Chain A
Amino acid sequence: QQQVKQSPQSLIVQKGGISIINCAYENTAFDYFPWYQQFPGKGPALLIAIRPDVSEKKEGRFTISFNKSAKQFSLHIMDSQPGDSATYFCAAKDQAGTALIFGKGTTLSVSS
Protein backbone atom coordinates (compact mmCIF):
# COMPACT_ATOMS: atom_id res chain seq x y z
CA GLN A 1 0.00 0.00 0.00
CA GLN A 2 3.02 2.26 0.39
CA GLN A 3 4.14 1.80 -3.21
CA VAL A 4 4.03 4.29 -6.02
CA LYS A 5 3.92 2.56 -9.40
CA GLN A 6 5.40 4.49 -12.30
CA SER A 7 5.17 3.83 -16.03
CA PRO A 8 6.60 3.59 -18.59
CA GLN A 9 10.14 2.63 -17.60
CA SER A 10 11.50 4.40 -20.68
CA LEU A 11 10.09 6.79 -23.24
CA ILE A 12 11.30 8.14 -26.57
CA VAL A 13 9.64 11.28 -27.89
CA GLN A 14 10.37 13.43 -30.90
CA LYS A 15 11.31 17.06 -30.40
CA GLY A 16 8.18 19.15 -30.08
CA GLY A 17 6.04 16.22 -28.99
CA ILE A 18 4.22 15.58 -25.71
CA SER A 19 5.82 13.33 -23.10
CA ILE A 20 3.44 11.64 -20.65
CA ILE A 21 4.52 9.72 -17.55
CA ASN A 22 2.02 8.06 -15.26
CA CYS A 23 1.97 7.10 -11.60
CA ALA A 24 -0.52 5.20 -9.47
CA TYR A 25 -0.84 4.74 -5.74
CA GLU A 26 -2.96 2.84 -3.24
CA ASN A 27 -2.56 4.77 0.00
CA THR A 28 -5.47 7.22 0.19
CA ALA A 29 -3.66 9.08 2.98
CA PHE A 30 -1.08 10.42 0.51
CA ASP A 31 -1.52 14.19 0.26
CA TYR A 32 1.54 15.47 -1.58
CA PHE A 33 2.68 14.39 -5.04
CA PRO A 34 5.93 15.86 -6.41
CA TRP A 35 7.85 15.11 -9.58
CA TYR A 36 11.63 15.15 -9.70
CA GLN A 37 13.99 15.46 -12.67
CA GLN A 38 17.43 13.86 -12.59
CA PHE A 39 20.30 14.24 -15.03
CA PRO A 40 23.08 11.61 -15.16
CA GLY A 41 25.50 11.84 -12.26
CA LYS A 42 23.41 14.46 -10.47
CA GLY A 43 20.90 14.47 -7.66
CA PRO A 44 17.18 14.79 -8.44
CA ALA A 45 15.68 18.28 -8.51
CA LEU A 46 12.09 19.19 -7.71
CA LEU A 47 10.21 19.94 -10.91
CA ILE A 48 6.59 20.46 -9.89
CA ALA A 49 4.28 19.24 -7.13
CA ILE A 50 0.53 18.99 -6.47
CA ARG A 51 -1.77 18.55 -3.49
CA PRO A 52 -5.02 16.54 -3.90
CA ASP A 53 -7.30 19.55 -3.59
CA VAL A 54 -6.63 20.48 -7.23
CA SER A 55 -6.88 18.37 -10.40
CA GLU A 56 -4.20 20.11 -12.44
CA LYS A 57 -1.15 22.28 -11.95
CA LYS A 58 0.87 23.88 -14.72
CA GLU A 59 4.32 25.41 -14.63
CA GLY A 60 5.63 26.41 -18.02
CA ARG A 61 5.73 23.35 -20.26
CA PHE A 62 5.19 20.97 -17.32
CA THR A 63 1.71 19.97 -16.12
CA ILE A 64 0.61 17.57 -13.41
CA SER A 65 -2.83 16.00 -13.86
CA PHE A 66 -4.31 14.44 -10.74
CA ASN A 67 -7.23 12.00 -10.57
CA LYS A 68 -8.11 11.42 -6.93
CA SER A 69 -10.83 8.83 -7.56
CA ALA A 70 -8.55 6.73 -9.77
CA LYS A 71 -5.58 7.30 -7.46
CA GLN A 72 -3.43 8.30 -10.38
CA PHE A 73 -1.35 11.31 -11.34
CA SER A 74 0.66 12.09 -14.42
CA LEU A 75 3.31 14.45 -15.73
CA HIS A 76 2.86 16.02 -19.15
CA ILE A 77 5.78 17.73 -20.85
CA MET A 78 4.58 19.87 -23.73
CA ASP A 79 6.82 20.78 -26.67
CA SER A 80 9.47 18.33 -25.45
CA GLN A 81 13.07 19.42 -26.05
CA PRO A 82 16.36 17.47 -26.16
CA GLY A 83 17.31 19.25 -22.91
CA ASP A 84 14.37 17.50 -21.23
CA SER A 85 16.14 14.16 -21.72
CA ALA A 86 16.54 12.92 -18.15
CA THR A 87 15.10 10.48 -15.64
CA TYR A 88 11.84 11.52 -14.03
CA PHE A 89 10.57 10.27 -10.67
CA CYS A 90 7.14 10.63 -9.19
CA ALA A 91 6.79 10.51 -5.43
CA ALA A 92 4.21 10.72 -2.67
CA LYS A 93 3.93 11.24 1.05
CA ASP A 94 1.24 11.44 3.67
CA GLN A 95 0.84 13.73 6.65
CA ALA A 96 2.06 11.09 9.07
CA GLY A 97 5.21 10.22 7.13
CA THR A 98 8.02 12.66 6.52
CA ALA A 99 9.88 10.59 3.96
CA LEU A 100 8.88 10.64 0.32
CA ILE A 101 8.16 7.33 -1.40
CA PHE A 102 9.49 7.32 -4.94
CA GLY A 103 8.45 5.52 -8.09
CA LYS A 104 11.08 3.56 -10.00
CA GLY A 105 11.67 6.28 -12.54
CA THR A 106 11.18 6.91 -16.27
CA THR A 107 14.07 7.58 -18.59
CA LEU A 108 12.98 10.11 -21.21
CA SER A 109 14.89 10.59 -24.44
CA VAL A 110 13.86 13.43 -26.71
CA SER A 111 15.20 12.98 -30.22
CA SER A 112 16.06 15.96 -32.35
Chain B
Amino acid sequence: DGGITQSPKYLFRKEGQNVTLSCEQNLNHDAMYWYRQDPGQGLRLIYYSQIVNDFQKGDIAEGYSVSREKKESFPLTVTSAQKNPTAFYLCASSTVTGYYGYTFGSGTRLTVV
Protein backbone atom coordinates (compact mmCIF):
# COMPACT_ATOMS: atom_id res chain seq x y z
CA ASP B 1 0.00 0.00 0.00
CA GLY B 2 1.20 3.48 -0.82
CA GLY B 3 1.70 5.92 1.99
CA ILE B 4 4.04 7.92 4.18
CA THR B 5 6.04 6.41 6.99
CA GLN B 6 7.36 8.54 9.81
CA SER B 7 9.75 7.19 12.39
CA PRO B 8 10.15 6.99 15.25
CA LYS B 9 6.65 7.49 16.65
CA TYR B 10 8.05 8.83 19.93
CA LEU B 11 11.42 10.50 20.43
CA PHE B 12 13.07 11.90 23.50
CA ARG B 13 15.89 14.44 23.27
CA LYS B 14 18.19 15.82 25.86
CA GLU B 15 18.92 19.52 25.95
CA GLY B 16 21.65 20.43 23.44
CA GLN B 17 21.25 17.36 21.24
CA ASN B 18 20.38 17.24 17.56
CA VAL B 19 17.83 14.64 16.51
CA THR B 20 16.66 13.53 13.07
CA LEU B 21 13.10 12.57 12.21
CA SER B 22 12.60 10.23 9.30
CA CYS B 23 9.97 10.58 6.56
CA GLU B 24 9.66 8.17 3.64
CA GLN B 25 6.92 8.03 0.97
CA ASN B 26 6.16 5.56 -1.81
CA LEU B 27 3.44 7.60 -3.48
CA ASN B 28 5.74 8.93 -6.20
CA HIS B 29 4.93 12.45 -5.02
CA ASP B 30 7.27 15.24 -6.01
CA ALA B 31 6.51 17.57 -3.10
CA MET B 32 7.12 16.89 0.58
CA TYR B 33 6.50 19.00 3.67
CA TRP B 34 7.22 19.21 7.37
CA TYR B 35 4.69 20.75 9.75
CA ARG B 36 4.83 21.28 13.47
CA GLN B 37 1.67 20.92 15.54
CA ASP B 38 1.24 22.45 18.99
CA PRO B 39 -2.05 22.51 20.95
CA GLY B 40 -4.24 25.36 19.75
CA GLN B 41 -1.71 26.45 17.11
CA GLY B 42 -2.78 24.43 14.13
CA LEU B 43 -0.17 23.17 11.69
CA ARG B 44 2.77 25.46 11.05
CA LEU B 45 5.05 24.93 8.05
CA ILE B 46 8.72 24.26 8.81
CA TYR B 47 10.19 23.35 5.39
CA TYR B 48 8.98 22.07 2.07
CA SER B 49 10.54 20.61 -1.05
CA GLN B 50 9.11 20.43 -4.55
CA ILE B 51 12.01 18.61 -6.16
CA VAL B 52 15.06 16.59 -5.23
CA ASN B 53 18.03 18.65 -3.98
CA ASP B 54 15.88 21.74 -3.46
CA PHE B 55 13.84 22.96 -0.49
CA GLN B 56 12.38 26.17 0.90
CA LYS B 57 11.93 27.55 4.39
CA GLY B 58 8.47 27.78 5.83
CA ASP B 59 7.17 30.07 8.53
CA ILE B 60 9.12 28.55 11.45
CA ALA B 61 12.37 27.19 9.94
CA GLU B 62 14.72 28.54 12.60
CA GLY B 63 16.42 25.71 14.50
CA TYR B 64 15.54 23.09 11.89
CA SER B 65 17.32 21.67 8.83
CA VAL B 66 16.28 19.30 6.05
CA SER B 67 17.72 17.45 3.07
CA ARG B 68 16.13 16.00 -0.07
CA GLU B 69 18.65 13.66 -1.64
CA LYS B 70 16.03 11.18 -2.84
CA LYS B 71 12.49 11.71 -4.07
CA GLU B 72 11.17 9.28 -1.47
CA SER B 73 12.88 10.75 1.59
CA PHE B 74 12.73 14.09 3.41
CA PRO B 75 14.39 13.87 6.85
CA LEU B 76 14.08 16.70 9.36
CA THR B 77 16.82 17.52 11.85
CA VAL B 78 15.85 19.38 14.99
CA THR B 79 19.00 21.16 16.10
CA SER B 80 20.04 22.40 19.52
CA ALA B 81 19.27 25.91 18.25
CA GLN B 82 15.54 25.15 18.39
CA LYS B 83 14.64 26.47 21.83
CA ASN B 84 11.25 24.85 22.24
CA PRO B 85 11.31 21.61 20.23
CA THR B 86 8.70 19.64 22.18
CA ALA B 87 5.86 19.15 19.68
CA PHE B 88 4.11 16.76 17.31
CA TYR B 89 5.85 16.72 13.90
CA LEU B 90 3.97 15.81 10.76
CA CYS B 91 5.39 14.97 7.35
CA ALA B 92 3.24 15.16 4.23
CA SER B 93 3.57 14.69 0.51
CA SER B 94 1.61 15.76 -2.56
CA THR B 95 1.76 16.24 -6.28
CA VAL B 96 3.79 19.29 -7.16
CA THR B 97 0.71 21.51 -7.48
CA GLY B 98 -0.82 20.32 -4.22
CA TYR B 99 -4.34 20.55 -5.62
CA TYR B 100 -5.16 16.91 -5.03
CA GLY B 101 -4.58 17.05 -1.30
CA TYR B 102 -1.77 16.13 1.00
CA THR B 103 -1.10 12.68 2.39
CA PHE B 104 0.17 12.89 5.96
CA GLY B 105 2.23 10.46 7.97
CA SER B 106 1.21 9.41 11.48
CA GLY B 107 3.58 11.86 13.08
CA THR B 108 6.50 11.85 15.50
CA ARG B 109 6.06 13.17 19.02
CA LEU B 110 9.28 14.77 20.18
CA THR B 111 9.83 15.48 23.86
CA VAL B 112 12.80 17.28 25.39
CA VAL B 113 13.86 15.73 28.68
Contacts and interface: CB of A to CB of B under 8 A. Distances in A.
Q: Main SS of the interface on chain B? A: strand
B101 A34 contact: yes
B75 interface: no
B112 interface: no
Interface residues of B, number: 28
Given A32-B98, A98-B50, A99-B48, A44 B104 contact: yes
A102 B59 CA distance: 12
Which residue of B40, B92, B98 has the most chain A CB atoms within 10 A of its CB atom?
A: B98
B30 to A, nearest CB: 9
A99 B45 contact: yes
Interface of A: 6, 9, 32, 34, 36, 41-46, 49, 89, 93, 98-105
